Chains A and B, each alone.
Chain A
Amino acid sequence: MDLSINIPGLNLKNPVMPASGCFGFGKEFAQFYDLSELGAIIIKAATGEKRFGNPTPRVAETASGMLNAIGLQNPGVDGIIEHELPFLTPYKTPIIANVAGSTLEEYADVAAKISNGMVQALEVNISCPNVKEGGVQFGTDPELAYEVTKKVKQQTDLPVYVKLSPNVTDIVSMAKSVEQAGADGLSMINTLTGMKIDPRSRKPIIANQTGGLSGPAIKPIAIRMIHQVYKEVKLPIIGMGGIETADDIIEYLLAGASAVAVGSANFKNPAVCVDLIHQLPETLDKYGFTSVQEVIGGAHH
């Protein structure tokens, strides 16, 4: 069974990678399995300076998912290059850096610094709903999305995947905008803004009040958006949102994704990515496929 996939800058031995923010910088998961088994690794967001993030509680459980408002806590791009990436680079797995910021300049700065040969692609996070400035503004306004994509492209020779926010009414126009700006691929979707209120305290559970919804609850939205975008845009798509089973992966590929990322399911089962990789051949076979490649976009033919 051929699990391999080639998308710009990334020769993946299989289409499964952990999603940004749900895998840290890999260290914690290395005690559960060999990270070389992964298709790729998307690391936690990097910003220009180190960020402490939001007050706690930062997570809440919901039906079939969870809310989070971590607030892009990270050691800053320099800290990541110096202290985190050296652990990951020896693995035989491409690394995708998640680039975030509050201003165009910050995105540019992070993209330039992290394109130093240690990572193989960039994922531009224009969709974080949990920070006051930037992030999601860039992800909800097609013109700003165009600008940030263009700016990042100018700073790097690496392929640039732009991570879209689902918190928009017209996902296709967002995707078209970043395509025109020169993006090499898309990553979709980030979390949906949500809230949970505790009836006892009568207040939102998350200190930030709102948080980003992830998990199986958002999968149908992600599938619909990828299906829409695949029809209108030529760029390859890394699909994510609620993936927990090998059947979920098939569904994403059929909708039009070329690869998939697994996020909050890593909290339930720390070895979920590698379990899914092992189950994938049998699942492909079950539906009559002989490679991952032939599944992509299958729902459109």
Chain B
Amino acid sequence: MIREWMRIVNHQEIAEKTYLIELEGEISTLVKRPGQFVHVQISEQYFLRRPVSIADVSPVKGTITLLYKVMGDGTEALTYKQSGQSLDIVGPGGNGFPVHQQRGEQALLVGGGIGIPPLYYLAKQLTAKGVSVKSVLGYRSESDLFYVDEFQSLGEVQITTNDGSVGEQGFVTDALPPLNSIDYYYTCGPTIMLKKVKEELINVPGYISIEERMGCGIGACFACVLETSESCGKGYVRVCSDGPVFRPEEVIL
């Protein structure tokens, strides 16, 4: 993990209040797994960094891509940064999703809203290994849709929206494919969604990526801890450094 000023090479709105930002720098060469994140200093005005998942890496361009949604003042302020400017970034943080599945196996990706981005880099890595990928992506409404084509180019995609404006109306858990063919699932999204996914997929092995408010983002301050189930060692984990990806049976949501 390092701290560096990364140059913005692309920054555009790709859906309602949803932005793609591509950053150039050494951190792009340090990413080990999908599901890792960077800690973004928006400006001097914002005391804490914002954790944002790495949605894609381009070794050729030496860039990482982040997809973020405006959720408050910090992400709002980020939208004003322009290509050519630099951002103070610490990363890559966390452990991310293990990509240990074998050729010919099936993977199910379940993403909700702004939990979808890290699943894209994961889907690319899985398909590159010959794993076949099915994705269930949940959005609020039609105007919130992003990266659907990108996921479709990697495998079958099922969309759900809260208002039914596209795809199936409801939650991701209402649109899960038959589970008997799935070898592993991977999920990221709001905690309430993760809980439901964990319950529905109780018999399938998987990985869940969890959000928590952070201080340091590097494992030192104990802001982001999560209780672990009794069977698991020391009683807690740090989302930023032990996670953000965990086995569902490991943690109490």
Contacts and interface: CB of A to CB of B under 8 A. Distances in A.
B220 A32 contact: no
A266 B217 CA distance: 11
A91 interface: no
B18 interface: no
B212 A56 contact: yes
Nearest to B226: A56
A21 B223 CA distance: 10
A129 interface: no
B179 interface: no
Contacts of A24: 219-222
Given A24-B219, A267-B216, A65 B47 contact: yes
Give the residue among B90, B215, B217, B236 with the most A Cβ atoms within 10 A.
B215
Given A52-B236, A56-B212, A56-B213, A266 B47 contact: no
Interface SS, B side = loop
A267 B49 contact: yes
Nearest to B3: A270
B90 A270 contact: yes
A180 interface: no
A10 interface: no
Give the residue among B90, B220, B235 with the most A Cβ atoms within 10 A.
B220
B215 A264 contact: yes
A28 B41 contact: no
Contact of B220 (A22, A52, A215, A269): A22
Interface in A190-244: 215
A31 B1 contact: yes
A91 B237 CA distance: 27
A60 interface: yes
A87 interface: no
Contact of A57 (B3, B47, B213, B235): B213
B218 A70 contact: no
Contacts of B46: 61
Contacts of A120: none
B225 A53 contact: yes
A64 B47 contact: yes
A53 B224 CA distance: 11
A274 to B, nearest CB: 12
B3 A58 contact: no
Give the residue among B2, B217, B223, B236 with the most A Cβ atoms within 10 A.
B223
A12 interface: no
Given A24-B220, A73-B236, A269 B3 contact: yes
Interface SS, A side = loop
A271 B49 CA distance: 15
Given A66-B47, A66-B48, A268-B47, A56 B216 contact: no
Nearest to A53: B222
A59 B47 contact: no
B190 to A, nearest CB: 14
A267 B213 contact: no
Interface in A116-172: none
A218 to B, nearest CB: 12
A60 B213 contact: yes
B219 to A, nearest CB: 5
Nearest to A69: B223
A269 B218 CA distance: 11
A66 B225 contact: no
B241 interface: yes
A25 B187 CA distance: 32
Nearest to A63: B47
A56 B47 contact: no
A281 to B, nearest CB: 23
Interface of B: 1-3, 41, 46-49, 74, 90, 212-227, 234-236, 241
Interface of A: 21-24, 27-29, 31-32, 44, 52-53, 56-62, 64-66, 68, 70, 73, 75, 215, 264, 266-271
7 contacts: A31-B1, A58-B213, A58-B224, A59-B48, A73-B236, A267-B48, A268-B49
Closest 6 CB pairs of A and B: A24-B220, A59-B223, A28-B220, A57-B213, A267-B216, A73-B222
